[in-house]
Amino acid sequence: MPASNQSKAARRSNEKRVRMLISCPDQPGIVAAVSRFLHEHGANIVQSDQYTMNPEGGMFFIRIEFDLNDPDRRLESLQLDFEEVVAQKFRMEWTIHRASVKKRLAVFVSKEDHCLLELLWQWQAGDLDADIAMVISNHPDLKDRVEPFGIPFHHVPVTAATKEEAERRQKELIGDDVDAIVLARYMQILSPKFCEQFPNKVINIHHSFLPAFVGGKPYAQAYNRGVKIIGATAHYVTEELDGGPIIEQDVQRVSHRDDVDSLKRIGRHIERIVLARAVSWHVEDRILVHNNKTVVFS
C-alpha cells in the first residue's frame, strides 16, 4: 500500500479507536462483563492489558482499546449504558477517551532547555501524540527557542512576593482547554492550592532517583554522598514536595571521578528521556493512579 494510503488508513482507524481505563475492587467476572458489554454494543477489542494488585481482596486495573464505528453518534450512549450496566455493579472508577482527540499540554520551564527541547522535537516529529498549547516560563530566556516551533511563549515572572498573582495569571493562560501541565525543569514549587486544581494532571521531572535526594540541588547531594548511580524521576505533583505518584525512572552509573558538573551533564540526558516517556504515556492514557502509586500499561 502506498505511504499516502497507509496514512489515510491509519487516520480512519484512529477515528474509531477508543481507550478505556478502569480500576475497581478485584472480584470474579470483571473482564467477562466488560468484554460482553463491548461486544453487545458493536465494539471490537483490539488490545487489553490488566493487573491485579494484592490478588486477595485487592484492586483490579485494566486498559482496553477498542474500535467503535461512528463514535460521534454512538459513544455517548455507550458511556451512559456502561455506567448503569457494568460500572455501578463492580464499583468502578473509569474513564474513556477517543484516540483521535489529542490532549493539550502546557509546558512550564525556567532557564534550562533540555527537557523542553526533547518534548518539542518529539512533538514536531509526530512521536508525541499531543498538542503543545503553550510554554509558560518564569524567565524570558527560552522565548527564542520556542517561537520557531509556532508555539505561544508566555513570560510570567515569579517571586516570593508575587507567587499568588503569578499562579493566577498561569491559570488564566491555561484556562479550561489544557489537559495536562508538564514541569520541564520548572524551578518553582507550586502552591497546594494550584496542585489541588489539577490532580494527577501535573507531571514533574525531578533530577534524582526518588525517594533519594528530595528537594533542591540533588546532584550536589548525590556527589556529597558519593553515589555510584544517579537517576531521574517523573512523577505527578502533589502537595508533598517530590512525593507524588511515580510514573517513570531511569539511572546511569557514575564514578568517583565525576564531579557535580559531570553529574549534571550525565543527568540531563536521563531527565529528558524519562520526562518524555512519562508525558507520552500520560497522553496515550496508559496510567492509572491508586493512592500514591501508578499502574503503567505498556
Cell numbers at 144, concatenated: 527564542
Alpha carbon of 29 to those of 53, 82, 148: distances in Å? 16, 15, 53
Reduced to 3 states (helix: H, G, I; strand: E, B; else coil), residue 268 is: helix
The residue range of the domain holding 28 is 3-98
Distance of alpha carbon 133 from alpha carbon 71, whole angstroms: 25
Whether residues 91 and 136 fall in one domain: no
Tell me which of 67, 179, 242, 285 is the catalytic residue. 242
Task: Kindly report the pTM of this predicted structure.
Answer: 0.93
pLDDT at 6: 43
pLDDT at 12: 60
Terminal C-alpha separation, the chain: 28
Q: Choose among 186, 188, 185, 190: nearest CA to 271.
A: 185
Q: Hey, what's the torsion of the CAs at 72, 73, 79, 82, to 10 degrees? A: -130
Cell numbers at 23, concatenated: 480500576
Cβ atoms of 286 and 130 within 8 Å: the answer is no
Whether residues 149 and 162 fall in one domain: yes
Domain boundary pick from 98, 123, 151: 98
Q: Choose among 43, 47, 34, 124: nearest CA to 284.
A: 47
With a cut of 50, list the residues of the chain below it in pLDDT.
1, 3-6
Whether residues 44 and 144 fall in one domain: no
Whether residues 123 and 24 fall in one domain: no
Tens digit of each residue's pLDDT (9 = 90 or more) over 120-139: 999 999 999 999 999 999 99
CATH number of the domain that residue 142 is part of: 3.40.50.170
Q: Where are the alpha helices (DSSP H) in 83-162?
A: 88-90, 114-125, 143-146
Domain boundary pick from 98, 113, 128: 98
Q: At what angle do helices 260-283 and 218-225 cross, to 10 degrees?
A: 130
Domain boundary pick from 63, 98, 133: 98
pLDDT at 8: 52
- Provide the domain count of the chain: 2
Whether residues 278 and 133 fall in one domain: yes
Reply yes or no on whether 141 is catalytic: no
Q: What share of the chain is helix, strand, coil (3-state, %, to 5)?
A: 40, 30, 35
